[in-house]
Structure 1
Amino acid sequence: MSQMDNRAGFRAGLREAASPRTVALIAGVLLLQLGFVLSYVGAFHHPTPHKATLAVVAPQKAAPQVVGKLNALPGEPLEATAVADEATARERLRGGDTSGALIIDPASRTDTLLVSGAGGASTATALETVLTQAEATQKRTLSVVDAVPPQAGDARGLTSFYLVVGWTVGGYLLASLLGVAKGAKPASVAEAGLRLVTAVPYAVASGLGGALIVGPVLGALNDHLLALWGVGTLVVFGAAAVTIAFQALLGVLGIGLTVLLFVILGNPSAGGAYSPEMLPPFWRAISPALPNGAATHAIRHIVYFSGNGITGNLLVLSAYAVLGTLVTLLVTARIQRRAPLPATGSAGATPVAAAG
């Protein structure tokens, strides 16, 4: 009898494993896995500069010709613009308004390329490669100077990206764990609100913790503790709010959408290993519209470029936080309105109460 029970239990387990729901979940995991491979390899397998901004300082009569030739290079690796003098070029570089500056010296056969290692080592290296080849066709050589180097503890300028990855993971893990503890879909507006409220102190603590680690603890990004704390709080809460919204819409499957947004699409397009101008068109286009790319750009510009050009990034991060909150509350309110009311007896009491 025990052996028959074991066989029956095994067959029941097989039927459960082959149920449509289980098969659909496995298929979903497989698609996410393949999407991960496609996105990361697609973004990184052949990094090539596309319209990397370049300020050009050249004699007035020669400047239009130099700029025209640089912009006509095959594949459009550069977007060159003539500027008045070296001081202007350096100012644009320090403000993060250009990726590099080419200083043409008419009295010499050697020109100078100013790059910004803090803005992304991959772009600086690509500019050096492209311009070295271009100079060689004119029988000229190139001297490269990193005019805006990364801080000593920020190797290759990658700290901002990894900091954002940590903050983002923390936000969606918190929301996922709340879903595991309470049920993926919030049962009421009050419960949804409680999850969102819970995410606030967590985001504040996470933002501060990350800023302290990369600043005073490790010395990777120094002197900007409060600004990084603020950005981190916004990133973490936004990631949590979006995850809670996806769970309110789709239940457990919402976590898959979170992975798609933040991991599969967000990380390779963020400008970490390769700056957005080094990525293929799709990843380059979505980079500023996703939290990962917006936050990475904002942190780099806070630390190295006096916060220049981060307004759009902060608006993107705020939009995800606000939309995640609104979608969560609206969807949960709709679900709550559609929920069946408890059955009542003729006198308005529940059946159990009436029976008593």
Structure 2
Amino acid sequence: MPLVTVVATGTVFVSVYLAAFHAPTPRDLPVAVVGTPQQARQIADDLDRSMADGFQVRRFATEGAARDALKNRSIYAAYVTGTGSSAEMLYAGANGPSVTATAGEAFADVASARGDALGRQDILPAPAGDTRSMSVFYASFGVVLSGFLFGTATYQSAPRLRFPWRMAGLGLFGAVAGTMVALLTGSLGFDALPGPFLGIAGVVALLGTAVGGATMALTRLLGPAIGTPVASVLLLTLGNSTSGGSMPPHYLPTWLNPLSDVLPVGAAVRAVQGISHFESDGLVSGVINLTLWTVVCVGVVYAWETRSPREGRSPSPRRTPSAASG
């Protein structure tokens, strides 16, 4: 049984990551055209010919509106038509090199077809401490792994621990994880994420409690033999692969894409990216998602532990009158 479980878990891990990243191409990646309605339709058709179903094109009347949309991550790039045969690509390097390369190649094809000389302007570059915009992925992966290990170890090392103390440990773990990530990624560490210390620490703390709580709940409901591998597949494999930390969820296969909004890892990654670069995009929805995961999973653990006897604990014998008098 352990051999089958380990092999199955490893197979799922390899299969999911290969499906997600072996040849990533965007699907309905939001971009914009600044120009007339006719220009927008023409450029949208050109983009579709360059990469079928790759882009979702919006039109803005002014360059300022496109810049605002880039800053709050409503779009990932903008094609700004100019006078004569000039055009400009606006993009946010903080989205990572994959997005920049995808939009750059497609926009270059459009410019070539239109006879435009295409310039480029990065209006929101990646910080010097995170040139590939991958730090949030590494940080979230580490917290998810730690949360999973905490959730499994808490029952292995302390099976008789009472519920209030177990939850106190979960809360302490989340607080420590959030503080450490905020320190390491902030100005006192690698200076990779320019978001506010308390904001990053708070979101990461919620991620830690959500993952730890989910692992606890699955372990209690299904038992260690089944609950541990299920938690591993759900949180480590599916959660990290769909988080959007390495590239936006628009690059995921259609069957994986919805998990980015549902699982706690994707919600946390989007929130941290938002408070670091994109005017807090995803912060509110992320906090709601992580809070719900934590509350529901803690509730499941509470309900299960209050209805079932603790492992290894036998009921205390009642004292009989004769025993008491004797």
SS of the residue 1:272 aligns to: coil
CA shift for structure 1 position 50: 0.9
Question: Aligned equivalents of 1:172 and 1:141: distance in 2?
Answer: 51
Question: Aligned equivalents of 1:119 and 1:308: distance in 2?
Answer: 13
Correspondence 1:141-220 to 2 at 5 A:
141-183=117-159, 191-215=162-186, 216-220=188-192
Structure 2 residue 43 is matched with structure 1 residue 46: no
Which of 64, 67, 73 lines up with 1:87 in the alignment?
64
Question: Aligned equivalents of 1:343 and 1:202: distance in 2?
Answer: 33
Change in 2 beyond 3 A, CA 1:348/1:249: farther
- In the other structure, the counterpart of 1:241 is 213
Unaligned 5+ residue runs, structure 2? Answer: none
Question: Aligned equivalents of 1:166 and 1:340: distance in 2?
Answer: 35
Structure 2 residue 288 is matched with structure 1 residue 315: yes
Q: In structure 1, what residue type is equivalent to 2:20?
A: A
CA shift for structure 1 position 244: 1.0
1:322-347 Cα distance to aligned partner (Å, 9 max, x none) = 11101111122222399998486894
Unaligned 5+ residue runs, structure 1? Answer: 1-23
CA shift for structure 1 position 197: 1.5
CA shift for structure 1 position 314: 1.5
Change in 2 beyond 3 A, CA 1:162/1:88: same
- TM-score, normalized by length of structure 1? 0.84
Structure 2 residue 236 is matched with structure 1 residue 263: yes
CA shift for structure 1 position 222: 2.8
- In the other structure, the counterpart of 2:73 is 96
CA shift for structure 1 position 225: 0.4
Q: In structure 1, what residue type is equivalent to 2:111?
A: E
Question: Aligned equivalents of 2:190 and 2:126: distance in 1?
Answer: 14
Contact 2:26 2:54 in 1 (8 A): yes
- In the other structure, the counterpart of 1:76 is 53
SS of the residue 2:309 aligns to: helix
Question: Aligned equivalents of 1:197 and 1:269: distance in 2?
Answer: 30
Contact 1:122 1:278 in 2 (8 A): no
1:225-272 Cα distance to aligned partner (Å, 9 max, x none) = 010011111111111111111111122132212211111101111112
Contact 2:50 2:106 in 1 (8 A): no
Deviates more, 1:67-76 or 1:226-235: 67-76
- In the alignment of these two chains, the number of paired residues is 324
Question: Aligned equivalents of 2:169 and 2:113: distance in 1?
Answer: 61
CA shift for structure 1 position 115: 1.1
Contact 1:123 1:278 in 2 (8 A): no
Contact 2:34 2:80 in 1 (8 A): yes
Contact 2:195 2:277 in 1 (8 A): no
Change in 2 beyond 3 A, CA 1:328/1:298: same
Contact 1:117 1:148 in 2 (8 A): yes
Change in 2 beyond 3 A, CA 1:313/1:210: same
Structure 2 residue 218 is matched with structure 1 residue 250: no
CA shift for structure 1 position 71: 5.1
Q: In structure 1, what residue type is equivalent to 2:193?
A: L
CA shift for structure 1 position 29: 1.1
- TM-score, normalized by length of structure 2? 0.91
Question: Aligned equivalents of 2:153 and 2:312: distance in 1?
Answer: 24
- In the other structure, the counterpart of 1:222 is 194
Question: Aligned equivalents of 1:239 and 1:194: distance in 2?
Answer: 18
Larger radius of gyration: 1
Q: In structure 2, what residue type is equivalent to 1:84?
A: A
- In the other structure, the counterpart of 2:304 is 331
Question: Aligned equivalents of 2:267 and 2:144: distance in 1?
Answer: 12
- In the other structure, the counterpart of 1:6 is none
Contact 1:53 1:99 in 2 (8 A): yes
Q: In structure 2, what residue type is equivalent to 1:130?
A: A
SS of the residue 1:283 aligns to: coil
1:85-105 Cα distance to aligned partner (Å, 9 max, x none) = 101100111111111111011
Contact 1:172 1:240 in 2 (8 A): yes
